[in-house]
Amino acid sequence: MARLAYGGDYNPEQWPEEVWQEDVRLMREAGVTMVSVGIFAWSKLEPEPGRYDFGWLDRLLDLLHEHGIRADLGTPTVVPPAWFYAAHPEALPVSREGVRYGFGSRGAICHSSAAYRAAAARITERLAERYGRHPALALWHVHNEYGVPVGACYCEASAEEFRHWLRARHGSLDALNAAWGTAFWGQTYGDWAHVDAPRLTPSVANPAQQLDYARFTDETVRGNFTAERDILHRLSPGVPVTTNFMTALSQCDSMDYWAWGREVDLVTNDHYLITDGRRTHVNLAMAADLTRSVAGGAPWLLLEHSTSGVNWQRRNPAKAPGQMARNSLAHVARGSEGALFFQWRQSRYGAEKFHSAMLPHAGTDSRVWREVVGLGADIAALAEVAGTRTVGDAAVLWDWQSWWAQKLEWRPSQDHDARERADSWYEALFDRHLTVDFARPEADLSAYPLVVVPALYLTTEAAGRNLRAYVEGGGTLLVSYFSGVVDEHDTVHPGPVPGALRDVLGLTVEEFAPLLDGERVRLDGPEAPALTGDLWTEVVVPRGAEPVWTYADGPAAGRPAVTRHALGTGTAWYVSTRLGPAELGAVLAAAAQDTGLPDRAELPHDVEVVRRAGEQGAYLFVINHSGAEAKVPLDVPGTELLTGERVIGRLSVPPGAVRVLREES
């Protein structure tokens, strides 16, 4: 891509063809370069089994091409037509409670259904044969948001496939019995045929069985993606294939995106602001950083976000003036090669008619439209940024499988939430103006001065060795409680907790001591004020580590709360209670003294400062989320791409504005 992409989902099948002319005219006015089409169009493309109607899509792609707009062409396999389900009701997924879902929405798919797989392959082949070399085609968009709204299916076909998957994974029933710890509660299996999906059970279902089912589901769904991808590669060579992820932890929890990132030609993501009380621009930055990390640091593309409100939360605030551009350009700062929306023209009917769009019901005489046109111009002005990579300062370890394991029932505290810990640590790093790369626990971490580990409950032995080598080699590691506890089968590592991280942290945990609702503990440390923790404490026994903060009260009073362990040429820190983002900042500041991290204390609060760099140069993105003018000191002079001004010494960014400086080398 020689420029940044701009556009959105385009659903012309909802409109008479006369409207298409106005669409392309307005698309050009807004600077649209790419639209996603055909995602939900199976029933229009194949109105009866084997009878195809491609005429409208021929005309549409030609029209787009005439107007210089490229197509991200969907395979419509997220919604098979009603006739398909009439013939194959077994392709509708079954919930854990044993209830079969119905038709009339979207994404009602049993991913183990042979009939679904065959039908998806057929429509994908037809599309690839017909459009695989169309000049408008830029990208293939397989399916839509695999993993939501239904992840796992509990039908008999899925259970049968699970048994095959288990044989391949465990080899023998003895190995399965050992891995699942079936000696507990008398669950030992003597015949493969008796092994089942973890259906609704009277009490807690076997945790290792549940964890394997989550893995099986993820792999099965991914297998259906790669089957379509391979067809497209064969029939449409040279055209990249993607499927839109939802990396935000609030939006999809069932897909292991580390594995997915390796299977797509271009990582693409959908992101929506969630009004859950947290700062939305921080959540956005986190999702963008996670997406870039899933892409291995390479450029990726924001395929969907919203111009204003969504319509699927309890209350759906409209975006404030300027917020849309800040959101879009924050994704670009963190590696996106453009910004696309759901959707181009706001629907008049259906489930999402109150979801905002680029062209709203209000028409072109509206704030949203004027901002859409303005953003199109900004995106065009940033063309030269394309292909550069965002520069990360520190790594945060994230592992979807460990998250799945932590969601299982019957833990020391059911209120412990791995996602909340990741969010809070991320926020603390964001507020120190550090750009975060996420990394797998087994990844090479040696490039990072600081690695943060929020709640890595499931830690493999290999990950434990990796983290130890990282610290011995001079790294600074910061580990949160409930990490290093179990192996990949949800079995506690032998010996005292945290088995996989005992050596590197230089401590053992004698007992978990979670707190009741409303209880708080005080931590005395190197400097006033004291910190306060809640939810979780532990009886920590130092075995090489030294206490830095100590519990002043609570069940572990007098014991270490935050520790530091010097090992090799590095240090490993441990935080055994739940601290909020501001207080994690105090721990980060203490640990930062052990690192070569940049100190950005002089930068104003709620102002994002992120760098993208490549062969063509380096670009400093400054996004001012605050209500005051921000003054950002510059290392080098440069030219600001959105205003064209040359800037020396300090860059002034008005409240709510974005600036992008091409730095002089």
Helix (H) or strand (E) holding 57: helix 55-66
* Largest distance between two CA atoms of the chain: 76
Alpha carbon 392 to its chain centroid, in Å, reads 17
Instruction: Considering the candidates 161, 304, 337, 583, report the single residue annotated as catalytic.
Output: 304
Q: Which stretch binds Zn ion (CB under 5 A): 151-159, 174-182, 266-274, 303-311?
A: 151-159
DSSP assignments along 147-203, one per residue: TSS-----SHHHHHHHHHHHHHHHSSHHHHHHHHTTTGGG---S-GGG-------SS
What DSSP state is assigned to residue 665?
A: -
Q: Which of 112, 180, 208 is nearest to 151 (CA)?
A: 112
Draw the binding track, 593-622, toward Zn ion (x: CB under 5 A; -: no contact): ------------------------------
Residue 312's binding partner out of Zn ion, ligand GAL, none, with CB under 5 to 8 Å set by partner kind? ligand GAL
CB of 97 to ligand GAL, least distance (A): 25
Please, where are the H alpha helices in 344-416?
A: 367-381, 400-407
Rounded Cα gap, residues 334 and 426, in angstroms = 14
Instruction: Considering the candidates 90, 145, 371, 427, report the single residue annotated as catalytic.
Output: 145
Residue 342's binding partner out of ligand GAL, Zn ion, none, with CB under 5 to 8 Å set by partner kind? ligand GAL
* Subset of residues 11 to 70 that bind ligand GAL, contact rule: CB under 6 A: none
Rounded Cα gap, residues 514 and 179, in angstroms = 28
Tell me if 92 contacts Zn ion by CB under 5 A.
no
Draw the binding track, 255-294, toward ligand GAL (x: CB under 6 A; -: no contact): ---------------x------------------------
Assess whether 304 carries a catalytic annotation: yes
- The percent helix, strand, coil of the chain (3-state, each to 5) is 35, 20, 45
Residues 158 and 197: beta-carbon distance below 8 Å? yes
Q: What are phi and psi of 198, to 5 degrees?
A: -75, 80
Q: Based on CB atoms, which residue is closest to ligand GAL, 323 or 577?
A: 323
Residue 110's binding partner out of Zn ion, ligand GAL, none, with CB under 5 to 8 Å set by partner kind? Zn ion
Q: Based on CB atoms, which residue is closest to ligand GAL, 192 or 312?
A: 312
Which residue type is seen at 401? Q
Tell me if 144 contacts ligand GAL by CB under 6 A.
yes
CB of 312 to ligand GAL, least distance (A): 6
CA angle, residues 386, 387, 389, in degrees to nearest 5: 110
Residues 256 and 400: beta-carbon distance below 8 Å? yes
Options 218, 256, 289, 304; binder of ligand GAL; rule CB under 6 A: 304
Residue 310's binding partner out of ligand GAL, Zn ion, none, with CB under 5 to 8 Å set by partner kind? ligand GAL
Draw the binding track, 155-184, toward Zn ion (x: CB under 5 A; -: no contact): x-xx--------------------------
- Token digits of residue 232: 């497209």
Rounded Cα gap, residues 568 and 321, in angstroms = 52
Rounded Cα gap, residues 638 and 647, in angstroms = 5
Q: Based on CB atoms, which residue is closest to ligand GAL, 107 or 240?
A: 107
Q: Based on CB atoms, which residue is closest to ligand GAL, 310 or 641?
A: 310
Tell me if 355 contacts ligand GAL by CB under 6 A.
yes
Burial of 315 (0-12, 13-18, 19+ CB in 10 A): exposed
Options 1, 60, 64, 110; binder of Zn ion; rule CB under 5 A: 110
Residue 334 zone, left/alpha/beta (φ > 0; ψ -120 to 50; rest): alpha
Options 145, 371, 378, 640; binder of ligand GAL; rule CB under 6 A: 145
CB of 149 to ligand GAL, least distance (A): 9
Q: Which stretch binds ligand GAL (CB under 6 A): 304-312, 417-425, 467-475, 636-644?
A: 304-312
Which residue type is seen at 458? L
Q: Which residues bind Zn ion (CB under 5 A)?
A: 110, 112, 153, 155, 157-158
Q: Which residues bind ligand GAL (CB under 6 A)?
A: 144-145, 270, 304, 310, 312, 342, 352, 355
Q: Which residues are catalytic?
A: 145, 304
